[in-house]
Structure 1
Amino acid sequence: RLLNAELALFEAVQERIAESDSLVRNLAAGDPRVRWVRTIPGFGRFFAVLVVHEIGTIRRFSTPEKLSAYAGLVPSVHASGGKVFHGRLTKQGNKWLRWAVVEAVRPAVTTDPDLRRYYERLRQRKGPNPAKVATARRLLLLAHRVLSQERPYRKPESVTMRPRPRTALMNPLPGIQSLACGLKEAPRIEG
């Protein structure tokens, strides 16, 4: 008797899963935005439908940073004495969007070598969780671009990561070329 009840429950759950899967398939097939998001590494049918429907219309977010804030993928900020400190995630925002994008990181880093390098570089410096969140923000940036431009994701043909200019090496006083520290001729700094 108990076994029959458990079997009936199992069959009801299986039936509900099939209905939900059919609904997700229909949503994915009928919406071009879902097709565009699915072209981003890491987003399958389910996550693409979830992301598109949680974002709604992309025009609500003028920048990817605003979309990241909506998803709660930005650090908390605390300022004291003129110093700004960045802390943990705010956890404010749309928890379903945040969950979907963070979960999409693993398949994204296993399929896309550029995202894998990005994730690994951050993981070595900051640890696995900050690397996962930063990569999730990168995926959300790609989703914003795809939805704003209304076209599928196209991987750049050549991605060159240029280092940021090192401000410490720049001459802070452009009028002064050197402090004569025993040098016969001061090196000329072009600014």
Structure 2
Amino acid sequence: MKANVVVIQALEAQIAELDARLLQQAKLRPEYLLLKTMPGVGEVLATIIMLETGDIDRFAEVGNFASYARCVKSAHYSNGKKKGEGNAKNGNAYLIWAFIEAANFARRFSDDAKRFFEKKKAKTNSVVATKALAHKLARASYHILKEKQPFDAKRCFA
């Protein structure tokens, strides 16, 4: 047990050092602080979202960004029947990871996010509800970066 505690402490020290280097090396824009206003998004996730997104003006609409972040399905439907799938691996894998992580933290620490998650989970399952919450956060981050305004829970979860 003592050996495990020593290993955990050593890993925590290395993680703290990596976080400090990340913040030193990253060229952060002012939107970084706005991204941190989202529930579930801290320093590391805000950095990842900002750097992996790049210039937000390259996305014409919020749906384009959500698709790039892999937060929407790629299935094609016609007359209510599934007719195939598009390129499911198209987009940025790091963004979907960041938004899923943010969704998991948001549902634990934000009442609005938890309420949305529980309502969605009652209709489907936990995985689909987490992905739906990640999609909400992706859309919110698009608006944060585009409009340069802090997170608004009423607008996101209304």
5 Å-filtered alignment, 1:40-119, equals 40-79=38-77, 82-85=79-82, 90-119=88-117
Relative contact order (C-alpha < 8 Å, sep 6+): which is higher? Answer: 2
Partner of residue 143, structure 1: 141
Any idea what the Cα deviations from partners look like across 1:88-108, whole Å, max 9, x if unmatched?
992431100110101111111
Partner of residue 119, structure 2: 121
The 1:76/1:30 distance shift into structure 2, 3 A limit, reads closer
More helix by share: 2
Give the RMSD, CA atoms, in angstroms: 3.0
CA–CA distance in structure 2, aligned partners of residues 63 and 45 of structure 1? 26
CA–CA distance in structure 1, aligned partners of residues 130 and 67 of structure 2? 16
Any idea what the Cα deviations from partners look like across 1:104-154, whole Å, max 9, x if unmatched?
111111222111111111111110011111100000011011101112223
Give the aligned length. Answer: 149
| Aligned equivalent of 1:23, options 21, 24, 40 | 21
CA contact 1:77–1:84 (8 Å) conserved in 2: no
Partner of residue 133, structure 1: 131
Partner of residue 166, structure 1: none
Tell me how far 1:46 sits from its aligned partner.
Answer: 0.3
The two structures have a TM-score, normalised by structure 1, of 0.66
Q: Which runs of 5+ in 2 are unaligned?
A: 1-8
Partner SS for 1:40:
coil
CA–CA distance in structure 2, aligned partners of residues 20 and 135 of structure 1? 28
Matched to 2:67, the amino acid is: A
- Name whichever of 20-29 and 124-133 sits farther off: 20-29
Tell me how far 1:27 sits from its aligned partner.
Answer: 5.7
Does the alignment pair 1:39 with 2:64? no
The two structures have a TM-score, normalised by structure 2, of 0.79
Tell me how far 1:15 sits from its aligned partner.
Answer: 7.6
Please tell me whether Structure 1 or Structure 2 has the larger radius of gyration of its CA atoms.
1
CA–CA distance in structure 2, aligned partners of residues 100 and 49 of structure 1? 10
Partner SS for 2:153:
coil
CA contact 1:76–1:86 (8 Å) conserved in 2: no
Q: Which runs of 5+ in 1 are unaligned?
A: 1-9, 162-191
